[in-house]
């Protein structure tokens, strides 16, 4: 009977129909979770978008990277203590809530860092501080579900506003340069963010030339924000917003470390740590000083200053600045300008220069003066 070809065809056809029906049922179940929202229903969300306004997004992944010993961990600890204590950070609102700080390296110094902050900043504070330290080194890919459960057990119905992972290298069992290993790490970090609808902030190292973060490029693509950290010429800590989805980029925060005596050791010698304070005489520089629309003009002026900048005393008795001829900056702008239309490129470039040059002057982004029949220009921001 099994050798009957007609019967075989009937069985095969029935099996195919069953598989097709199961496929349609599966697709139907999946479609119940999918909804296409019409344009008329799309509205601006009113919820808080930032953990720290204009610096760290409320949810998703942020990486803070820089060379060793540049102050990354000190700065992040200080910033997140403001979140835990519901304090504004450098005049910026925070989304307050519990902080979970995973110290995967340098655990021995965390206690002194906490004590330094307590002694120097919390004289008038009363009550508990919703800040929890996790000091066991983990393989995040393998252990992230256990970490999520540990956070739930510890915090109960008060989910964290942020989970910090310090550092990526010490919590990744594989290779930072492997697309497979980095993709698994990103999925683990994203699972933590989604479990609590919180920010995940990862401390990371830079490459050999200090110009970019280390590791596979897939990490950059997955980020909601990227902050770089470097030491200034005066040993200050300079944090720069390199990338920020739907936010201003290029802003800098300048800080310094201040030594604090936190106790004495068994030999009677002082134990010290540091706290982060805003650098006197320095302030955050906002990228809004030079809007993206003025990028080509800014680049042209900067290039002119590099090529032929001279010392110029503003007003005859003011500060000394590097100045260059407007003519040279104009020539460089003409070389770099790319027309976005099909019309006359020369006329479009002329109008773009005139319009953007005027905007830069009106906003006090540049200074200019006529000296010996030549117009000089310099940057004020």
Predicted confidence (pLDDT) per residue in 338-351, tens digit: 766 666 788 888 88
50-287 has CATH 3.40.50.300 classification: yes
Q: At what angle do helices 72-84 and 110-121 cross, to 10 degrees?
A: 50
Helices vs. strands in the chain: H and E counts, helices first: 9, 15
Give the pLDDT confidence of 113-125 residue by residue, as tens digits. 999 999 998 987 8
Q: The pTM is what?
A: 0.67
Q: Check if the beta carbon of residue 375 is closer than 8 Å to that of residue 301.
A: no
Please report, for the chain, the start and end positions of each structural domain, with discontinuous segments joined by +.
50-287, 292-379
Q: What is the pLDDT of residues 221-240, one digit of tens each?
A: 999 999 999 988 888 999 99
Contact 357, 297 (CB under 8 A): yes
How would residue 328 be classed by pLDDT, with cut points 50, 70 and 90? very high
Q: Which residue has the tokens 């010490």?
A: 170
Mean pLDDT of the chain: 86
SS3 53: coil
- CA–CA separation, 254 vs 358, rounded Å? 30
User: Distance between CA atoms of 329 and 322, rounded to whole angstroms?
Assistant: 13
Q: 63-99 burial, b for 16+ CB within 10 Å, e for fewer? A: bbbbeeebbbbbbbbbbbbbbbbeeebeeeebbebbb
pLDDT confidence bin for 30, thresholds 50/70/90: low
267 HSE (CA, 13 A, CB side)? 3
Cα–Cα distance, 259 to 236 (Å, whole number): 13
Percent of the chain surpassing pLDDT 90: 44
Per-residue pLDDT tens digits for 119-145: 998 987 888 999 999 999 999 999 999
pLDDT at 185: 97
Contact criterion met (CB below 8 Å) for 81 and 98: no
- Omega of the bond prior to 9 within 30 degrees of 0, cis? no
Instruction: Check the CA dihedral 218-221-223-229 and report its sign.
Output: positive
What φ, ψ does residue 2 adopt, rounded to 5°?
-70, -15
Q: What is the CA radius of gyration of the chain?
A: 28
For the stretch 157-182, pLDDT in tens is: 999 999 999 999 999 999 999 999 99
Q: With CA atoms as reference, report the closest residue to 106 among 141, 72, 58, 65.
A: 72
CATH class for the region spanning 292-379:
mainly alpha
For the packed helices 295-308 and 345-362, what is the interaxial angle rounded to 10 degrees? 80
Query: Whats the size of the chain, residue-wise?
Result: 381
Confidence of residue 285 (pLDDT cuts 50, 70, 90): very low
Helix-strand-coil split of the chain, %, nearest 5? 40, 25, 35
Residue 8 has pLDDT above 80, yes or no: no
| Residue predicted with more confidence, 163 or 2 | 163
Q: Is 291 helix (H, G, I), strand (E, B) or coil?
A: coil
Extended beta strands in the chain, E state: 50-52, 56-57, 60-66, 99-103, 131-134, 162-166, 199-205, 225-231, 237-244, 252-264, 270-278, 310-313, 320-325, 366-371, 374-379
Q: What is the pLDDT of residues 240-280, one digit of tens each?
A: 999 998 788 888 889 999 988 988 888 888 888 999 988 75
């Amino acid at each position: 009977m099994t050798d009957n070809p007609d019967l075989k065809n009937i069985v095969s056809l029935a099996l195919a129909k069953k598989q097709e029906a199961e496929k349609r049922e599966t697709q139907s179940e999946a479609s119940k979770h999918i909804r296409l929202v019409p344009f008329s229903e799309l509205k601006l969300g009113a919820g808080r978008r930032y953990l720290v306004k204009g610096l760290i997004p409320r949810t998703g992944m942020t990486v803070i990277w820089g060379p060793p010993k540049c102050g990354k961990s000190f700065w992040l600890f200080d910033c997140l203590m403001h979140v835990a204590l519901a304090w504004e950070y450098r005049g910026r609102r925070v989304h307050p809530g519990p902080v979970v700080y995973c110290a995967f390296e340098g655990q021995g110094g965390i206690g002194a860092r906490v004590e330094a902050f307590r002694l120097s900043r919390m004289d008038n504070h009363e009550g508990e501080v919703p800040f929890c330290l996790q000091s066991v080194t983990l393989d995040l890919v393998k252990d992230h579900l256990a970490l999520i459960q540990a956070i739930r057990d510890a915090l109960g119905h008060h989910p964290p506003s942020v989970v910090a992972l310090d550092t990526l290298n010490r919590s990744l069992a594989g290779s930072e340069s492997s697309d497979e290993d980095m993709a698994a790490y990103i999925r683990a970090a994203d699972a933590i963010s989604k479990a609590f609808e919180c920010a995940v902030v990862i401390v990371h190292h830079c490459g050999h030339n200090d110009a970019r973060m280390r590791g596979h490029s897939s990490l950059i693509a997955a980020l909601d924000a990227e902050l770089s950290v470097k030491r200034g010429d005066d040993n200050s800590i300079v944090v720069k917003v390199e990338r920020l989805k739907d936010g201003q980029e290029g802003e800098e925060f300048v800080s310094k470390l201040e030594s604090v005596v936190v106790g004495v050791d068994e030999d009677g010698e002082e134990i010290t740590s540091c706290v982060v304070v805003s650098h006197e005489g320095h302030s955050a520089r906002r990228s809004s000083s030079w809007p993206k629309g003025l990028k080509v003009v800014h680049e042209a002026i900067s290039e002119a200053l590099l090529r032929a900048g001279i010392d110029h005393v503003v007003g005859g008795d003011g500060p000394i600045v590097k100045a260059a001829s407007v003519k040279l900056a104009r020539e460089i702008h003409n070389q770099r300008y790319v027309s976005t239309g099909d019309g006359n490129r020369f006329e479009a470039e002329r109008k773009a220069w005139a319009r953007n040059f005027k905007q830069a002057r009106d906003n006090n982004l540049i200074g200019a003066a006529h000296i010996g029949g030549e117009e000089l220009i310099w940057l004020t921001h």
